[in-house]
Each structure stands twice: as C-alpha cells, then as structure tokens.
Amino acid sequence: MTALTQDYQITWEKLPDDYKLPDDPVDNINQPALAAALTESLQLAGKISVNTLTTTNYGICATLNNKIVIKAPDWAFIAKINVSREEVTRSYTPELQGDIPVIVMEFISDTQETEYSIKATYPPGKWFFYERILKVPNYIIFEPDSGSIEMYRLQHTQQYILQEPDENQRYWIAEMNLYLGVWQGTRENRTGKWLRWWGEQGNLLPWGFELAQEERQRAEQERQCAERLAAQLRAAGIEPEV
C-alpha cells in the first residue's frame, strides 16, 4: 500500500507537560488481554531488558511542521529507551528518548479500518504515520475474532509490503529473533485466537500459568516415580527410606 508523498518537517520533541492527552477508552475488552499476553511471554523468556519498553494504547509522538501528532498502537515493542522510565510515563518520542519501535500492532475491532489509513494531510492516518514518519520496520494488523493476521515489512523503498507466512503460518521478526503467529486456546477466561511468540527453533514461549502447569506435572511425575520405586523395594523385602 502506498501513500502520496507529503512534505513534512519532522522533529522529535518532548510532549509538553501540560499537553492534554486523549482519554479514549479501549475499543473492547479483548485488547488489553491480547497486549498483556504478548508482553508476559517475552518477559518470562528474558526478552525484555531494563531499557525495553512495551506499550499498550500509549502515545507515541512526532512533531510535523510544528504540530504534534500522537498515535497509540494497541501494542508496540521498543527495544531500548535512553531516558529513565519516569520521563516516558505519559508518552514517548522516538529518536529523542530512544529507539524507533521495532514493531507496532493494531487489533481490528470496528469497520472504520483506520489501521489502513494512508491519509497524508494533517493529522496523518495510522498507516502513513507508522510507514512514512516513524518508519517502523514491522506493522501487524490482527483480527482477533477470525484470527486473521497481516504482517507488513518496511522495504528499502520506504513502503510497507505484505509478507507471506512460513510453512507453520508464522512470521519472522528479525529484529527480535522470534516468530509471531496465531494460537487457539484459553487464557484468563477468554477462549479464542491469540498472537504468540515462537523461538528460532520453533519453541513456543510460554505464559506464566503454562509454566506453573508444567511444574505441577513434573512434580506429579516425580511423585509417581518415587511411589513405583518404593513399591518395587517393598516387593523385594526392602523398606524404602522416607
């Protein structure tokens, strides 16, 4: 998808402390759950450093021709910020406060299709802002109800090109050294389609409750093994040590 070239003087300025941010509610109850799930598995896998920022409906800013533009993707991953977290409590300005986001995601929940907006005039649409202003290398559009996922990769032409999944229906995110794909299952009383991460070798990055389940299963297997061994010893006339 292409957009008409629009001449903008782009500057990276800190959002004024008295700037009133939009107080729009999230579109539906699924968005925070989907975003939290993406972050949790990265955290547990050690993929989030002290300088990493993951955001949910949080303002990412740029100044175009002296006018502030703020977009709040449903989820974003910023590999490194170069300021304290206290300085990015309200919003984040790339280049000034740290890296350009590695990836931004939008979860479709209405029919307005603002995720595809290439509107170049002020204020620019989401697509135009991510592609032409921020130059985010990976843009994901996910439809939770159907599980449809579109991954767009920024090319040397500075345009997003739709990517094809691999044989496992996953997408390689080179900057994170991870695959992204769709998984069907239940988490936090929501059964449906989820975005999940897989490692380079195809291993699924687990959530906390899955790790707890694995630990309980391991403990149960060890208990059963100990009981079988004790029974074998007793059958041989040996009283096992407690």
Reply yes or no on whether the pLDDT at 26 is more than 70: no
Reply yes or no on whether the pLDDT at 146 is more than 60: yes
- pLDDT attached to residue 114: 79
Please state the pTM of the whole predicted model. Answer: 0.87
Question: Residue 223 class from Cβ within 10 Å (0-12 exposed, 13-18 middle, 19+ buried)?
Answer: exposed
pLDDT in tens, 192-227: 999 999 999 999 999 987 777 777 777 778 788 877
Q: State whether the Cα torsion 127-128-129-135 is positive or negative.
A: positive
- pLDDT attached to residue 242: 62
Reply yes or no on whether the pLDDT at 235 is more than 70: yes
- pLDDT attached to residue 6: 62
Radius of gyration of the chain (CA): 23
